[in-house]
Amino acid sequence: MSNQLTHSPNRDNPDRPTPRSIDLLRDPARNKSTAFTEAERDALGIRGLLPARVFTQDEQLDRVIGNYRLQNTDLGRYVFLRALQDRNEKLFYRVVIDHIEEMMPIIYTPTVGLASREFANIFRRPRGLYVTAEDRGRVAEVLANWPDSEVRVIVVTDGERILGLGDLGANGMAISVGKLALYTACAGVDPSQTLPVMLDVGTNNSELREDTQYLGLNRQRLSGNEYFELVDEFVTAVQQIFPKALIQFEDFATENAYAILHKYRDRVLSFNDDIQGTAAVVLAGLMAATRITGQPLTDQTVMFLGAGSAATGIADLVVKQLVKFDIAEAEARRRLWLVDSKGLVVASRDNLPSHKLPYAHDYPAMDFVTAINELKPTALIGATGVAGAFSQSALQLMADINPRPIIFALSNPTAKAESTAEQAYRWTDGRAIFASGSPFDPVEIDGKRLVPRQANNAYIFPGVGLGALASATTRITDDMFLAAAEALAGAVRDQSLASGSLYPSLTEIREVSVQIACAVANVAYQAGLAGDRAPNDIEEVVRSLVWHPSYDLAV
């Protein structure tokens, strides 16, 4: 989402008096608009400021959906929803939760990519916090300006690698805000406890810097020691101002993403969604796919086209899962192969970055299609950001090698997908087991309706965050992501698998998030990372934290 989504300084908070009169109607966290009762209108000084009729939230919902569907473009629908949250946060979340399959592609991928590019043009009100390169030495002071003190989840980006779109600078705030909306919609994390942050260190995108409407710092990106010093000051300030907050790092460039993850993962409550969240959702999809193929995960050979943070993060988590089945780590890595822009990643290659080295096997160099023919992978995972990178010849070869080839085209937005669902199905005679990063419509092949579903991180990170809150864990570990992946894979119904779907319906996502949260919390307690002794009923604790967008009586 864009800067349209945020949290008002006048949110429900026992330390802050309830606003009255017109101020109440301008507070999206408390405004119920036409749903204020007669008694509330009298007590809160808003009689006469609203039309006479009192509506229920259900009636308001019907009006919103009708108006939403009058919008002619996805960007128009996006802006409409952002304006709704600006007016009435609870009604916004009710709309999203009740119509999640319709709303998810608008509030997040693929439309959030377009919204990110158009960020300056659709800017209405500032949202979240902007910590800039010019704030060095006073980052804690900036964070202290946020009006809600009980922040529990922060999503922060520096905008350098937004989806498959590259460096969008300060426009990356759309991603932080959108991810936090999913925390609430998909797992019920109280929106008053969330904080989107843009770490604006400049941009190397010359087109943005030449745009007179660009909202961010007009300078080259901060880099090197200065960059990491700012990140460190930010992380330290979070510990000071919001000591219970989970930090989710989002859409950082690969080298920086790994450096930040390795520095902080064992020191503060944090994770990188592109590395660890993506890994868990893809691992879950692979485990679900084995229920279709009948081949266990231990028999898979996986090839990645693309070798950035997403691909190597997936590979690392798959290795950890294989080790749980008593496969030696070195042997597990030998079952995973990377292909980058120069071809197969092999040991003879010079100057490989550190994240690729564990998968640089002793093997001859070759191109992508030749590598498929030589290594005969059972699963092909695309994380390139290059549209059409899965050629017809590559997918037909996968179908020649495998009765049911597993094909994941993960790049988003949709225009960046390695293949469409229809291409994957038709070029494999309907035998592909397909998942994607962006949504695709069902495809009918030989009278059978195949329903592809997104390998969407929204299946994972909201539940992980909810589990962290429920357990008060001090760290997020790989074992938690393994537990989350297993819980997600276990939630896929047989009828979904029969139609080719590797993930549950989005209509089930809040319940799936509860189960993931329970699995994560259990790991936290077993590892001694939780704040207190494990409760008798972890699920009861998790469910007690789930926020619902119902209206409360103000008087």
Verify that 436 and 513 share a domain, yes or no: no
- The reported pLDDT for the residue numbered 555 is 72
Quickly count: other Cβ atoms within 10 Å of residue 12's Cβ: 15
What separation in angstroms does the CA of 197 have from each of 9, 160, 330, 442, 454? Answer: 16, 14, 39, 36, 26
Verify that 355 and 417 share a domain, yes or no: yes
CATH number of 170's domain: 3.40.50.10380
Domain assignment present for residue 3? The answer is: no
Task: Grade residue 3 by pLDDT with cuts at 50, 70 and 90.
Answer: very low
Compute the distance between CA of residue 393 and CA of residue 399 in angstroms, rounded to an integer: 10
Task: Using the predicted structure, report yes or no on whether residue 6 has a pLDDT greater than 70.
Answer: no
Domain assignment present for residue 550? The answer is: no
- The reported pLDDT for the residue numbered 17 is 61
- The reported pLDDT for the residue numbered 1 is 38
Verify that 218 and 297 share a domain, yes or no: no
What separation in angstroms does the CA of 405 have from each of 395, 400, 493? Answer: 9, 9, 20
Verify that 334 and 312 share a domain, yes or no: yes
Task: Using the predicted structure, report yes or no on whether residue 4 has a pLDDT greater than 60.
Answer: no
Percentage above 90 pLDDT, the chain? 91
Verify that 132 and 45 share a domain, yes or no: yes
Verify that 480 and 449 share a domain, yes or no: no
DSSP H helical ranges for 324-405: 329-334, 368-375, 392-401
Domain assignment present for residue 439? The answer is: yes
Instruction: Tell me which residue range forms the domain holding 520.
Output: 459-545
Verify that 477 and 449 share a domain, yes or no: no
Verify that 79 and 163 share a domain, yes or no: yes
Domain assignment present for residue 250? The answer is: yes
Domain assignment present for residue 553? The answer is: no
Verify that 254 and 295 share a domain, yes or no: no
Task: Grade residue 7 by pLDDT with cuts at 50, 70 and 90.
Answer: very low
Total domains, the chain: 3
DSSP H helical ranges for 421-508: 421-426, 461-471, 478-490, 494-498
68-114: pLDDT as tens digits: 999 999 999 999 999 999 999 999 999 999 999 999 999 998 999 99
Domain assignment present for residue 487? The answer is: yes
Compute the distance between CA of residue 303 and CA of residue 342 in angstroms, rounded to an integer: 15
In the DSSP assignment, the letter for residue 414 is G
Domain assignment present for residue 551? The answer is: no
> Active-site positions?
108, 179
Verify that 34 and 78 share a domain, yes or no: yes
217-263: pLDDT as tens digits: 999 999 999 999 999 999 999 999 999 999 999 999 999 999 999 99
Domain assignment present for residue 4? The answer is: no
293-349: pLDDT as tens digits: 999 999 999 999 999 989 999 999 999 999 999 999 999 999 999 999 999 999 999
For the segment 480-490, the average pLDDT, to the nearest whole number, is 98
Say what the pTM is: 0.94
395-449: pLDDT as tens digits: 999 999 999 999 999 998 888 999 999 999 999 999 999 999 989 999 999 999 9
- The reported pLDDT for the residue numbered 431 is 97
Compute the distance between CA of residue 124 and CA of residue 381 in angstroms, rounded to an integer: 39
Task: Grade residue 10 by pLDDT with cuts at 50, 70 and 90.
Answer: very low
CB 385 within 8 A of CB 306: yes
